[in-house]
Structure 1
Amino acid sequence: MPDAAAAEERANARLAWARNATDVKELELQRASVDAGYRSYWRAQVGDGSRIVMDSPPELEDVRPWLRMRALLASGGVRVPQVLMEDTANGFVLMEDLGGPTLAQVIDADNADAQFDAAIKQLLRLQKIQPPLGMGEFGHALLQRDAGLFEDWFLRRHLGLELDADDLQRLEEAQGLLMDNALQQARVVTHRDFMPRNLMPVDDGPAVLDFQDCVVGPVAYDPVSLFKDAFLSWPIERVDEWLARYHARALQARIPVPHLPEFRRDADWLGVQRHLKILGIFARLHYRDGKSRYLPDAPRFITYLDEVLPRYRELDPLREVLDVRIRPAMERMPLPSP
């Protein structure tokens, strides 16, 4: 984490750049949002409205992958923020202000069908993009890293669990099945965090945010991320209905999805893989980065697992480890306050 002097120096550089970029000498910046990475977003009032300044310190988070991916998604018709000025050397970007609330803040049980219909439209545009040569792959190495996050940070660091040989074998067996399923699916451009807090409600949107880590990945990954959010839960019956709705529209758009029963299994299994990974990430954010507001959501992911694992006997080894080792350890370990 930067010290106070470095933070003040960066703040001065950010303000000077924003004043120059907007040609408003008296401009002031107000914090617009905070995320789990090193980027920060600042709102600037100008004559005809407001702008957003993205601050991405080059030594911590290179802004160029974000800009390259923004251009790729825009080329496919995906609604992304309009960039007005960029400074890659210093890590500053001036862009349109899409407004305040994210989709996560405005969606509710009554408007969810319409909101998700609009989100699916953007997702299908994203999935139809031809991946450029050299684009990152959601492959075995990434899956192994995700599995390691769960074991190293959530089980060992947070819960203090050291699994015995039998439990490790059960966990590795289940993780192997999840990995094989992910690797066997059709491949499309994959956001990897296509969820309501990364979508902004606008008339021609929703606009898609936080897309710099897009890869070529399994076709069911983003749909299940959208409907089984890290921060917002829905009844599983509605999730199943939305997955079927996405599937029908994907077939019409010629996205390479399998028959619905197979697609539903693929989405469920990717959901399990993703939930385990996020548990590891939330624990790492708490213990390594001092960001404790994420870990209190951990029980949400256990609920997701409880809903899905009984559907698939093949995943019984994971269910056994969850019931016998993980759940009792969580009950003994109070979660930090957000």
Structure 2
Amino acid sequence: MSVAATDREGDFLADAGWADARPAPLTADASARSYRRLVASTGASAILMRAPVDMTADRDSLAAFLRVGAHLCDLGLSAPGVLAADPAQGFVLLEDFGDATLARLLQADPAAAQAAYRVTVAEVLPHLARAPVPDWAARPPAAAQAAMIDLTLTLLPAPEAVTDLRPALVNALADHCPGPPVLALRDCHGDNLIWLPDRKGSARIGLLDHQDAVALPLGYDLASLLDDPRRDLPEGWRADLTDRFATALGLPLPEVEARVATLSLLRNLRILGIFHRLATQMGKPQYRAFLPRTGLLIDRAVAHPALADLRAPVAELRRQTQGWAA
């Protein structure tokens, strides 16, 4: 950070009443944004987010972060409260939810993790599903949703061999994901969810990284949470969580299972290309380690009886991408 940028940060914190705060360790974020935990002399803590604002897309992303967060808070959910903000400079001082991500709980306290996952699927996601989709949320149609896999297709050695994949996905979305869309956080996984057990109801889950929220078929965030390439859930959890989600919304379990299979397939076909590009073109080879599990999640999803028409093109895609994990 330049001297000028440091001065602007100091001015921002002084105006916010945090001039005496000292930095404390905080796990780095994988995005273009940077975060620092600050601890005031009173012992109070907050998170300073510095977002890039050099390009229009950067400024739009920050505006979306603030807009979506405010909407979630209006719904009674727990997005970090904004203590101070200077969007023009890219500074936002946020409420500190702590470090009890669901991903960490899976490693350190499985019982607490199970409780947190259950609250997410039986309270938070149904709460979002029942709420009206805000006017500002994009509503991509099925064809645009299927186009989410285009990055992966462009990286294939012979994309012409899977030209029937996207139309088959459009058909699957129409058949197995009917009904009005709901606001989907999109990156709903263990690193972006914080356990807040001292709160009540659906507010017990802190929601991070929500700026990419759009309207998508019901169940998209459930598929994101259950079929995350970064981590395995303990045996039996996936079935239990799917059942709890279905029960909370009064939906037949087989219908929800078909939804999750369809949306998990869509999401992980996209992620396969994202992780491959990160590993090979963007200097992040650590993402190669997630590719085998991403492939297994694709295989499991397409094995669902409802997705039989997708098996041939997916098998061809998997054949062409086998070497990506090497």
What TM-score comes out, normalization by structure 2 length?
A: 0.85
CA distance in 1: counterparts of 2:22 and 2:231, whole angstroms: 34
- The residue that corresponds to 1:162 in the other structure is 158
Aligned twin of 1:3: none
Q: 1:19 to 1:310 in 2, by over 3 A?
A: closer
What is the distance in 1 between the residues matched to 2:183 and 2:41?
38
Question: Does residue 1:51 correspond to 2:46, yes or no?
Answer: yes
Aligned to 1:254: none
141-150 or 296-305: which moved more?
Answer: 141-150
What is the match of residue 115 of structure 1? 116
The answer (yes or no) to whether the contact 1:178–1:270 under 8 Å persists in 2 is no
Displacement of 1:81 in angstroms is 0.8
Distance 1:86 1:162, change over 3 A: same
2:277 counterpart residue number = 284
How many equivalent residue pairs? 311
Residues 1:237 and 1:130: Cα distance change in structure 2 (over 3 Å): same
Work out whether residues 195 and 225 of structure 1, in 8 Å CA contact, stay in contact via their aligned partners in 2. yes
Deviations along 1:72-124, whole A, 9 cap, x unmatched?
Answer: 11111111111111111111111121112421111255444312122222222
Change in Cα spacing, 1:289 to 1:240, as seen in structure 2 (3 Å) is same
Shift of 1:126: 2.1
1:68 Cα deviation (Å)?
0.9
CA contact (8 A) 2:137 2:183 kept: no
* CA deviation after TM superposition for structure 1 residue 128, in Å: 2.4
Q: Whole-Å Cα distance in 1 between the matches of residues 48 and 130 of structure 2?
A: 30
**1:184-224: per-residue Cα shift (whole Å, max 9, x none)?**
34311111111111111112222111111111110010111
- Map Cα deviations across residues 265-311 of structure 1 (whole Å, 9 max, x no partner): 01111000000111122233334543333332111111112223222
Determine what percentage of the aligned residue pairs are the same residue: 26
Structure 1 runs not aligned, ≥5 long:
1-6, 156-160, 252-257
Shift of residue 36 of structure 1? Answer: 3.4
Q: For the structure 1 residues 100 and 211, does the alpha-carbon distance in structure 2 shift closer, same or farther, using more than 3 Å as the test?
A: same
Show the counterpart of 2:304. 311
Give CA-to-partner distance per residue, 1:214-261, whole Å, 9 cap, x none. 11110010111111123112267431221111110122xxxxxx5321
CA distance in 2, matches of 1:71, 1:107: 29
CA distance, structure 1, for counterparts of residue 158 and residue 284 of structure 2: 24
In structure 2, C-alpha distance between the alignment counterparts of 1:11 and 1:230, rounded to whole Å: 37
Change over 3 Å in CA distance of 1:272–1:310 after alignment to 2:
same
The aligned counterpart of 2:150 is 148
Deviations 1:123-167 (CA, angstroms, capped at 9, x unpaired): 2222222122232113246424412111124x3xxxxx224x4x3
Structure 1's 107 and 10: CA in aligned 2 closer, same or farther, altered over 3 A? farther
Cα pair 2:48 2:93 within 8 Å, conserved: yes
| Partner in structure 2 of residue 198 of structure 1 | 192
**From 2, 23, 31, the counterpart of 1:8:** 2
Q: Quick check: 2:162–2:317 contact (8 Å CA) kept in 1? A: no
Aligned equivalents of 1:265, 1:42: Cα separation in 2: 41
* SS of equivalent residue, structure 1 residue 74: helix
Quick one: structure 1 residues 291 and 180, their matched pair in 2 at CA, closer, same or farther if it must change by over 3 Å?
A: farther
Select 1:131's aligned residue among 120, 130, 133. Answer: 133
Secondary structure of the corresponding residue to residue 151 of structure 1: helix
Inter-partner Cα distance in structure 1 for 2:280 and 2:80: 32
Moved more, 269-278 or 138-147: 138-147
Cα distance in 2 between the residues matched to 1:35 and 1:137: 28
- Report the equivalent of 1:32: 26
One-letter identity of the residue aligned with 2:273: G
Q: Tell me the C-alpha RMSD between the 2 structures.
A: 2.6
Q: 1:182 to 1:22 in 2, by over 3 A?
A: farther
**Partner of 1:215 in structure 2?**
214
TM-score, structure 1 length as denominator?
A: 0.82
Structure 1 residues 301, 185: CA separation in 2 closer, same or farther (over 3 Å shift)?
A: farther
